[in-house]
Amino acid sequence: MCWYEQLDEKVREYLPDMTMEREVPLSKHTSFRIGGPARRLAFPANREQLVILMGLAESCGVKPFLLGRGTNLLVDDRGLDTLVIKTAEHMTAVRQLDEVTLEADAGILLNHLAVYAQQHGLSGLEFAHGIPGTLGGAICMNAGAYGGEMRQVVTEVTALLPEGVRRFTAEEAAFGYRRSAFLDTEAVVLGARLRLTPDDPAAIRRRMDDLMARRRQSQPLEYPSAGSTFKRPEGYFAGTLIEQTGLKGLTVGGAQVSTKHAGFVINVGGATSADVEELIRQVQQAVYAAHGVHLEPEVRIVR
């Protein structure tokens, strides 16, 4: 019996209320609208189900892939022969612990969390309102925009490790530029606590609306993408280097360097993962030849 047949049996026995689908095209679950089928795609409803599911997967000899909302990812067209776990569907609980502290599950969308904070008169997440990912993914990547970063507000992270569930302080989370202690490790972020600042809800809303307007004006939100394609090289801006190299509009198959913002590779229709990877390679090569700067992808390539 193969691993996914074993997993099917165990899920029926131990998690009968959890949704798990078979051979699901991940193009339907990624912001790039690219990706082949996942052998199994599960949607845990809460932290407890996720912890149990991880244990079941381990007992079947399979290492799951945490999808979150599927942003900042480029999934191979051939798909993933593993269990993919999407937290963004149901793991979205949030509550206010005291006057300045929120606790939320990893699957809550950042824009929903920012709106919740605004409605409760708490400032500090305005920058996150337009970031199209989950809290868990944002913590792993220390997501940021417009001068704000997750490390400015996260005070505690709860994560599942091979030895069990553990809480991490902000210092232990080791946040850096687009990285944390949870990135590319066996740790699975379950949720976090955030410390915010009391403020007038109307004033917070105005700041959020202003940042969203700036985002819409400057970014190609009308096309599928994974957000900023490259990390910011020290002393430069990736988009500026790409534009100065004359690469706006450069196209491979259905993938294109956005003519609106050169830091974004977009799917203009029918792009494959191979198209995007080749376009990234061409951009890296051209920018290095012109400026001597190596651009490191921010988008995670998953095979």
Residues classed as catalytic: 178, 228, 298
Residue 10 parent element (H or E): helix 3-14
Residue type, 84: V
CA distance 204 to 132: 19
DSSP 3-state of 155: strand
Q: Pairing relation of β-strands 265-267 and 255-257?
A: antiparallel
> First-to-last CA distance in the chain?
24
DSSP output for 103-165: EEETTSBHHHHHHHHHHTTEES-GGGTT--SBHHHHHHHT-EETTEEGGGTEEEEEEEETTEE
222, exposed or middle or buried, with CB in 10 Å at 0-12, 13-18, 19+?
Answer: exposed
